[in-house]
Each structure stands twice: as structure tokens, then as C-alpha cells.
Amino acid sequence: MSTASAALRDDRLPLDLTVNGRARSLRAEPRTHLGDVLREALDLTGTHLGCEHGVCGACTVLLDGEPARACLTFSGACAGAEIVTIEGLDDDPVAGELRAAFNREHALQCGYCTPGMLIAARDLVLRLPEADERRIRAGLSGNLCRCTGYVGIVRAVHSVIAERRARGIAPETGAHRLLGPIGARPGTSVAAARTPLPRAAASPPAMATLPTADLGADFVPAHRFEQSFRVAHSPEIVFAAFGDVEAVAACLPGAVLTGPPSPEAVEGALQVRIGPITAQFRGRARISRDEEARSGRIVGAGSDAGGRSATQGEIRYRVMAGEETGTTRVDLTIGYTLKGPLAQFGRPGLVRDLAGRLGADFTRNLEARLSGAPAPKTIGLNPLHLLLSTLLAPFRLRLAALLASLRRP
């Protein structure tokens, strides 16, 4: 067999990882999922594979400090990453407290979901400032258990958070700690940490439909990131365009208005498609603007038609003069909380990338509208297509290089 033929048959590429504090080098196909690499190549079988669709949470690991689904994460996207599995938490004090609490509260039966449940619970213990049953349930909503009924699990997490806060151990507030499990956000009552949990089971609460007047009153997003873009028009023109709600909606892919807008509020919908899941979020948003500072805030909440996925979020923007005369730079701070089936695909790093690409589409459409040109055709937000294009880009370059080398005499 020729060297070229052997190269074509072996699709594995070198992969360097830090797993449980130890540098590991191996070879794997880029499309191989991280869960399979951990189990088959590194013999770390504590990472369980259940649904293999990112829904059950049994495969949850820490990827660069953030909970992630190992069954959905391509190993090729993890080069140089730091990964912690349940085996790497043997000597972790928080995991130790949780294991004791799980035993005490009878929070496990068959144990299949327990590794992923412990990793998700550990993130909640480190991040939530208070023991709040509603927020604990929301934070664990992406980890499914078919045995316990969840009451013991929630009670165990509640007790660990309450005990640690009573000992004066404050929640971590580093940047990555703002990016924990989907749906969790800080509590508002110290008394909740000392209130015994009821024995009856309760389902994780759905996002309430908020009156427009209450939007943003006490909203603290679970995830927050920043981005910026530039437009070849003056700040005065761009800020005025941001005050036209219908124009902004027309520039945002997948967005439609469902009611007559006003300068302070708007009703609308945003279509999202991820693989087989299609959802159209309908909700309301409150708008505030500061003419003097050329800044503003949009905060809203909504849910899909089936009521199974819900979101609340905010966008803070500031319009400033660009580096070149007649240009504008817009700085954005985006915060959001996402719950339900779509939350399983909501890894913060992926959301940041998707927001960047969506922002690029919005910028092109806004530029065209301000220039009087027809806006490019948009078909809505399709995160799966964007994700695949992001992951496959480096592999396309490697394939092109390989084919080029084969064509040489």
C-alpha cells in the first residue's frame, strides 16, 4: 500500500488534551465525539453516554471550566482544552460534600445519571449565592434521572449550598463562573437558604410571561458576553436607526413583529432552528434609550409555541464615533437565560460564536438599509449550520492541503 493511500485510510489526527490535570496525547478522528475519546481511548468510563443527543446530561464534563456535553462535542474542537471528568473530582472538596449529601438524601438509585448530575450540581454549588429550590431545579433541568424523582437530588444540592454559605464560603465570581448551567441565576433572598425543602416533587418552573412594565426590573442573566461591530455611517444616523423598531427587526434574521411597536415596548417573535428542533420564540421587550449618551437597553422574555423552551435576555448598546470620519462603532453587552430543550445546545462558547455570526448578518443588513440598497435575503437563525461551518473549517483546509500534496508528481 502506498504512503498516500495509507494517509487517506487513516483519518486520525494528533490531539493534545489536559485531562484531569494530566497532559494526554493521542490520535483521533476529528469527528469523534469527546465522550467516545474519553471512554475508549483514555478508559475514563465514569463519563456515561445515554441519549447521545445532548438531552439527558449523563455525559456532562467540565470543558475549560464549563459544563459541556461530551456526546455532542467533537474531539477535533477540543485541541489544547482542559477537561475534567468525574474521575478528576475524587479529591475535590465540593464534589466530596455533594457525594455525602447524595448518600444522606437518597439522591441516587441506579447511578447512571450521577456523574453528570454531580458535575452540574458542583457548578451550582460554586455559583449560586443562595440555596433556592427554584433556581436549583432550573440549573439541573438539563440532567435527567429516571429513578429518583429529583426530590432527593434537589435536597442534597440545597443542603450543600446552604451549609457552605452558612460557613461564610462565598460563590465564585470569576468571568467563567457566569457561564454555568443553563437557566440558573442568582437568588434574591437569604431566608431561602435556610428554608427546608418540601417533600413533594415539583417540576422545574417555566419562564413566566412578564408584563412589559416588569421586564428588566430585577433580571440578572446567567450568561453575559460582549461584542462590537462597525458601520460606515455617522453615529447620529446609526443611533436614529436604532430608535426605529421596525427597521431593527427587518435587519435581524428570523425576527418579525407581531404587534404595533411603540418607542418603549414591542411584541415580536424570533425563529430558531437547531437540527430537528424548530422553535419560534414569542414575547415582549422593553426599550429604553439615552439620547445624550447615545446608548440604550432592550430587555425581554418569551417562550416557544409549545412552551417547552423559554428565554429572557437583554442587550445594552452604545453608539460611538469610529476611527475613521463618518463611521460608527457599536458596542454591545448581551446577557441571556435559556431553559428547555434548546438549552441543551446552549453552551456559552457556541452561543457567543453564533451571536457573532448573527451580528455580522445584522450589520450587513443595517449597512444596506442605511445605504438605500436592498437587504440580503435571510432565512432565520440556524445555529446547527453555523456550528458545522465553524467546526469543519480547519478540516477543509487540511483536506485541501492533502489533496494538493497528492497531485504533486
Residue-wise pLDDT tens digits, 125-163: 998 999 999 889 988 988 999 998 899 999 999 999 999
pLDDT of residue 36 exceeding 60, the answer is: yes
- What integer is the mean pLDDT of 217-238? 81
CA distances to 253, 262, 300, 324 from 240, rounded to whole Å, are 20, 15, 21, 20
Confidence of residue 209 (pLDDT cuts 50, 70, 90): very low
Range with the poorest average pLDDT among 6-20, 56-70, 311-325, 393-407: 393-407
Comparing 32-41, 81-90, 143-152, 294-303, which segment has the lowest mean pLDDT?
Answer: 294-303
Q: Are 73 and 10 in contact (CB under 8 A)?
A: no
| pLDDT for the residue 16 | 93
Higher pLDDT, 178 or 397: 397
Chain-wide mean pLDDT for the chain? 76
* Protein fold of 10-87: Ubiquitin-like (UB roll) (3.10.20)
Range with the largest mean pLDDT of 52-66, 341-355, 395-409: 52-66
Residue 20: what pLDDT? 96
Between 164 and 399, name the one with better pLDDT: 164
Q: Which CATH class is domain 97-194?
A: mainly alpha
pLDDT score of 96: 95
Residue 304 reports pLDDT greater than 80: no
Calculate mean pLDDT across residues 359-367: 81
Question: Considering only the top CATH level, what class is 212-384?
Answer: alpha beta
Same fold, 97-194 and 212-384: no
Mean of pLDDT values over 264-288: 72
Is the pLDDT at 73 greater than 80, yes or no? yes
Extents of the domains making up the chain:
10-87, 97-194, 212-384
